Amino acid sequence: MARVVLGVAGSIAAYKSAELVRLFTKAGIEVTVVMTRAATEFITPLTLATLSNRPVTVEQFGPPVGPTAGWELSDSSGGAVLRVAESDRPMESATVVGGEGPRSASGIEHIRATREADLIVVAPATANLLGKVANGICDDALSTTLLASTVPVLFCPAMNTRMWEHPAVRANVRQLMERGAQFVDPGTGELACGEYGAGRMAEPEEILGAVRRLLSGVRRGRLLVTAGGTEEPIDPVRCISNRSSGKMGFAVAEAGRDLGYDVTVIHAATSTPPPSGVTLLPVRTAEEMGNALHHLHADFDLLVMAAAVADYRPRRAHAVKLPSGEASMRVDLVPNPDLLASLRGQREGKLTVGFALEWGGTPRERVARARRKLQEKGCDLIALNNPLESDSQFGGDTNRITLLYADGRTRELGLLSKYDAARALLDGLPAPRPIAPVLSLVPTTAGAKPKTKPSTKNPRRTATPRRSGPSANPQKPPRGGSRKKAPR
């Protein structure tokens, strides 16, 4: 189990630390909280102790607060041990006996916590705390904890916009970053003081994603996700669309972010808020999504096509609102391009995942239809789902997915939350298909002879994709002549 020390400084954003502790605990991360005295003016230590089920340190030399069931301290030699009986009250007189003599248990708890921690997260991190740590000042439990630790530190600043932009604060942030500290930059929005600007502490979900990336210790590359349902206009106020909520695509983006991917989401209409910590590119129609997709996909290691793209669009989109009335109206529809199929053969060496909505027939017939789509569209993996089932409907929070792999494997995920289904999908990705070898007809070293005899008829074409530039196909030798030998 990963262990995190959560530092809470004195800011109105301290109320978010309760949700952060809850998210950490739910994710299987053990949390130990260290607070400044100013932080207790915004949230009580007992609240965080109850949520974390561990004592909370506030005073540098005072007793910790909260549950102490099973709490044990030992000195560096392992000889002095303190076992504390179960209690929900602050420790008042506990001492460690042995070694050089009695000493306060609470006086070493914040130091011990850092020795066992994998990461320290400071959320919120105030301008005061950043200045202290940057300049080596430790006059309370939290600043002492930070300076006594050698584990990675993640700061989540929260302050007024002008404070965040002040040269002194910017210099402190640069100095901490140069020493290896990580930051989740504050968001932009309405602040507690009534002003608008940068300074809001990042949302707990975004902080959790950053923590998961740091604990995993890996960066997985770049992930491009499509989400939502496209809207095909009939006129300025009417459109043809579908019931997609965008939840599954956003769940893939959120899971990818938490796994360490650099995530970009091309999204059409959605009915759920997008995840934080990812790059968002809103579009409206299938054509707009296709343009964005073809412009971006080559720069991404992994593409997950979770959007519900309208199959048809009106042949003509009227520039003004059509009059309403009782008379019938005819709208001619033309098919939209298949965006996933349009990328076939362009992503060798990269991974492409599609979604297939299939209903009707037996489960075996639905799997067979989805597998044909996988082959026709050139995917490495296709996720089969049926949003007409009661527990995996459009807009719901759960899904039943069957993963079909290009190598013939099938994996049933069963009923999961959409986030857990997305995690399972990303955790089970196959290896990328190898890039097709380029047929070279030109010697690569001086004096070497070509291994393949050139043909004057229909030279073999390479299947290797090119992002831009001239064709990679070998050219025919001049008519009536022969190939020139490589210079010696």
Q: What is the pLDDT of residues 343-365, one digit of tens each?
A: 988 888 899 999 998 888 888 89
Where is average pLDDT lowest: 71-85, 244-258, 318-332?
71-85
- Is-contact 234 251, C-beta < 8 A? no
d(CA 357, CA 378) in angstroms, rounded, equals 17
Q: Are residues 280 and 368 in the same domain?
A: yes
Give the domain range for residue 368: 218-320+331-427
Average pLDDT rounded to a whole number, residues 265-292: 93
Within-domain flag for 462: no
Domain boundary among 215, 231, 261: 215
Residue 472's pLDDT band (cuts 50, 70, 90): very low
The pLDDT value recorded for residue 320 is 92
Peptide bond into 275 cis (omega under 30): no
Within-domain flag for 473: no
* Cβ-proximal residues to 154 (8 Å cutoff; 6+ apart), any chain: 119, 120, 121, 122, 123, 181, 182, 183, 184, 207, 210, 211, 214
d(CA 219, CA 413) in angstroms, rounded, equals 26
Q: Are residues 147 and 244 in the same domain?
A: no
Integer angstrom CA distances of residue 117 from 34, 110, 153, 205, 355: 12, 11, 11, 21, 40
- Is-contact 11 42, C-beta < 8 A? yes
Within-domain flag for 439: no
Which position has the token pair 């430790």?
Answer: 138
Within-domain flag for 325: no
Average pLDDT rounded to a whole number, residues 139-159: 92
Q: Are residues 360 and 255 in the same domain?
A: yes
Residue 214's pLDDT band (cuts 50, 70, 90): confident
Q: Are residues 173 and 268 in the same domain?
A: no
Average pLDDT rounded to a whole number, residues 51-63: 84
Which active-site residues does the annotation give? 193
Average pLDDT rounded to a whole number, residues 5-29: 94
Q: Are residues 222 and 209 in the same domain?
A: no
Q: Are residues 291 and 335 in the same domain?
A: yes
4-42: b (≥16 Cβ within 10 Å) or e:
bbbbbbbbbbbebbbebbebbeeeebbbbbbbbebbbeb
The DSSP bridge partners found for residue 334 are 313
The pLDDT value recorded for residue 341 is 92
Give the CA-trace dihedral at 475, 480, 486, 488, to 10 degrees: -170
Question: Residue 36: is its pLDDT beyond 50?
Answer: yes
- Whole-prediction pTM: 0.64
Where is average pLDDT lowest: 29-33, 191-195, 214-218, 310-314?
214-218
Within-domain flag for 84: no
Domain boundary among 381, 402, 427: 427
Q: Can you tell me whether residue 397 is helix, strand or coil?
A: coil
- What does the DSSP 8-state code read for residue 290? H
Task: Look up residue 312 and give its amino acid.
Answer: Y
Residues for the chain: how many in total? 488
Higher pLDDT: 455 or 167? It is 167
pLDDT winner (highest mean) among 353-357, 394-398, 440-444: 353-357
Domain boundary among 427, 457, 476: 427
Q: Are residues 119 and 151 in the same domain?
A: yes
Euclidean distance between the first and the last CA atom of the chain, given in angstroms as a whole number: 64
Within-domain flag for 373: yes
Q: Are residues 163 and 262 in the same domain?
A: no
The pLDDT value recorded for residue 110 is 59
The number of folded domains in the chain is: 2
The pLDDT value recorded for residue 81 is 37
The pLDDT value recorded for residue 447 is 43
Nearest by Cα to 297 from 238, 228, 347, 372:
347
Q: Are residues 299 and 350 in the same domain?
A: yes
Query: For the domain that residue 200 is a member of, what is the CATH number?
Result: 3.40.50.1950
The pLDDT value recorded for residue 19 is 96
